[in-house]
Amino acid sequence: MDITKDNKKTEQVADEEEVVVTSEVKDESEIDPRDEKISSLEDQLKRAIADYRNLERRSFDERMDAIKYANKKLIEALLPAFDTLFLADKFTEDENVKMTIARILEILKENGIEKVDTNDVNYNADTMEVLEVVDGKDEKVIEEVRPGFKIHGKLIRPAQVKVGKVQK
């Protein structure tokens, strides 16, 4: 007795489920224009968020670069004074001059500014400028005329050097 009632109820529930399932499925011709608009707006929102994040990252990178290279103009203005000091070192044996140069180079290095290495190296066109070709080992830096400097690996001024060339 109760079993037949239960069977009828399950059939009814099954029929209702079918109705629910079939009512959810729509033909492509019945797509609501509001759904297309929502999809379009969601896409625009995602693009705007991505653009904003890229802008944030770029502006952060630009601020960091500005901070990193803020001293560049000051160093460029001081280079002629350093050149005079380096030139004085070539013609004097005064220990005070040598200590002053060493201290200046140390301070520069602490602030991300390094002197271009020209001691016992081959000529490098990226960091050096040839003033004169003299007798010596081929493509070897013979003498540094004016030091070059880099700030955080970026060249401020190339070193001026004399380069060796084997005479035949």
What are the backbone dihedrals phi and psi of residue 22, each rounded to the nearest 5 degrees, phi first?
A: -70, -30
pTM higher than 0.85:
no
pLDDT of residue 72: 87
DSSP string, 63-104: HHHHHHTTTHHHHHHHHHHHHHHHHHHHT---HHHHHHHHHH
Residue 22 lies inside a defined structural domain of this protein: no
pLDDT of residue 28: 55
Residue 145 lies inside a defined structural domain of this protein: yes
Query: Reduced to 3 states, what is the DSSP secondary structure of residue 28?
Result: helix
Weakly modelled stretches of the chain, pLDDT under 50: 1, 7-23, 25
Residue 88 lies inside a defined structural domain of this protein: yes
Query: Reduced to 3 states, what is the DSSP secondary structure of residue 164?
Result: strand
C-alpha pair distances (Å), 7 with each of 12, 18, 76, 105, 133: 9, 17, 94, 95, 106
Residue 63 lies inside a defined structural domain of this protein: no
pLDDT of residue 22: 45
Residue 76 lies inside a defined structural domain of this protein: yes
How many whole angstroms from its chain centre is CA 139? 32
pLDDT of residue 71: 83
Q: Residue 148 belongs to what domain range? A: 72-165
Residue 67 lies inside a defined structural domain of this protein: no
CATH number at residue 108: 2.30.22.10
pLDDT of residue 30: 65
pLDDT of residue 138: 87
pLDDT of residue 133: 92
How many domains is the chain partitioned into structurally? 1
Helix, strand, coil percent values for the chain (each to nearest 5)? 60, 20, 25
pLDDT tens digit sequence for 33-48: 888 899 999 999 999 9
Distance CA 70, CA 66 (A): 6
Residue 153 lies inside a defined structural domain of this protein: yes
Query: Reduced to 3 states, what is the DSSP secondary structure of residue 40?
Result: helix
As given in the structure block, the two tokens for residue 5 are: 């009632």
Residue 16 lies inside a defined structural domain of this protein: no
